[in-house]
Structure 1
Amino acid sequence: MGSPVLYLFGSAAPPVHDVAAVVEDAQRRGFTVCLGLTPTAYRWLGDRLPDLQEVTGYPVRSEYKLPGQRDVWPKADVIAFAPATFNSINAWALGLTHNFVVGVVAEAVGKGIPMVAMPCVNAAYVQHSQFERSVAVLRGMGVEVLYGDGGFVPNQPGRGRPREYPWPVVLDAVERRFTGR
């Protein structure tokens, strides 16, 4: 049996620019990594996509495959969605599967795949009443949402600190969810 498969998903928030280092850290921790991005995050990383594909050994995906096409990724053992934007968190909680990564995580709930999510939103977004409801819905479905103490704490608008995004917390949670410890 090979190494466990981690689907690492990211949306268009500044920490997504550091995803190559996260992939390498996950690989050092023993995971095979398949990288999926929202369409905007995919565009943001456009010039780095060939390198990311080479590092993971799999195509970086942002779109659904066509009917009848074989899946180019192995089945996931665990999924991490980070950074997850305001839009992605809300769409996931509401079951709005307008893009590939949100569709996969929405379906993964029903498949019982262990999942971790860490938002990346500013303090103005979290004032919207839907955000807290969405976090509660995801937690109620068994998703470990790393938000608040011990996870992501929002900054004021325009004062983001992407280099301080707590990526190791995500991978630590992935290991816990996968091993059941």
Structure 2
Amino acid sequence: MSELPKKPFLYVIVCASGIAGDVGKLITAAHDRRWDVGVIATPQGLGFIDAEAVETQTGYPIRSAWRSPGDPRPLPPPDAIAVAPATFNTINKWAAGISDTLALGTLCEAYGLGVPTAVLPYVNAAMAAHPAYSRSLEQLREMGVLIGSYRPHPPKAEGGADQFRWEEALDLLAPAISPQH
């Protein structure tokens, strides 16, 4: 009896955004493409998702805080990372090398480990107009991070959710790592 090939493991990092509750769409798309998935949420992002539903869907606990020394690692090492949705705050901190949450620490370390990473920003146009945002995206591009195509939505519009393509993260990562079939 032959053993099934190991599925690649995707970390999905979820930030505090109005559309974060739809992260199950990305998890479903990843499962359809033969990825196993674990979710890391920013501390504020936890309040925007249905943790029980996400844990049931992935089969893994959601991570949001560092584990204590000696505690087992609840997720396997990632073969790739998708940051979706990514907020203005997370993008700017990540580009600056700030590692004050597990999510940001994971992203900062991923660069040094060479883990393919895609980011799907979800920001409004007023925030995106701040000069730090374009500099941060450029810094991330220089680091090899793959940036999604979402266009910022009007401020206070609660808009753009229908234009947010969750599966774009997988499309961006496909050339970097191809799941075994």
Superposition TM-score, scaled by structure 2 size: 0.91
The unaligned stretches of length 5 or more in structure 1 are none
Contact 1:15-1:163 within 8 A present in 2 as well: no
**After TM superposition, where is structure 1 displaced by more than 3 Å over at least 4 residues in a row?**
none
Matches within 5 A, 1:98-137: 98-137=100-139
C-alpha distance in structure 2 between counterparts of 1:55 and 1:133, whole Å: 36
In the TM superposition, residue 177 of structure 1 has moved relative to its aligned partner by: 2.3
**For residue 155 of structure 2, what is the aligned residue in structure 1?**
157
Contact 2:11-2:78 within 8 A present in 1 as well: yes
Q: CA offsets per residue over residues 92-137 of structure 1, 9 Å max, x none? A: 0011111111110110000000110111111101111111111111
Percent sequence identity over matched residues?
Answer: 34
In the TM superposition, residue 167 of structure 1 has moved relative to its aligned partner by: 1.2
C-alpha distance in structure 1 between counterparts of 2:56 and 2:14, whole Å: 18
Is 1:72 matched with 2:71? no
> Which of 16, 35, 39 in structure 2 is aligned with 1:31?
35
In the TM superposition, residue 41 of structure 1 has moved relative to its aligned partner by: 1.2
**For residue 177 of structure 2, what is the aligned residue in structure 1?**
178
**For residue 143 of structure 1, what is the aligned residue in structure 2?**
145
**For residue 93 of structure 2, what is the aligned residue in structure 1?**
91
The unaligned stretches of length 5 or more in structure 2 are none
C-alpha distance in structure 2 between counterparts of 1:27 and 1:12, whole Å: 23
C-alpha distance in structure 1 between counterparts of 2:125 and 2:47, whole Å: 25
Is 1:19 matched with 2:23? yes
Contact 2:25-2:166 within 8 A present in 1 as well: no
Tell me the secondary structure at the aligned position of residue 176 of structure 2.
helix
Contact 2:118-2:173 within 8 A present in 1 as well: yes
**For residue 55 of structure 1, what is the aligned residue in structure 2?**
57
Superposition TM-score, scaled by structure 1 size: 0.91
- Across the aligned residues of Structure 1 and Structure 2, the Cα RMSD in angstroms comes to 1.4
C-alpha distance in structure 2 between counterparts of 1:169 and 1:79, whole Å: 13
Tell me the secondary structure at the aligned position of residue 14 of structure 1.
coil
Tell me the secondary structure at the aligned position of residue 105 of structure 1.
helix
Letter in 2 for 1:157: P
Aligned residues: 174
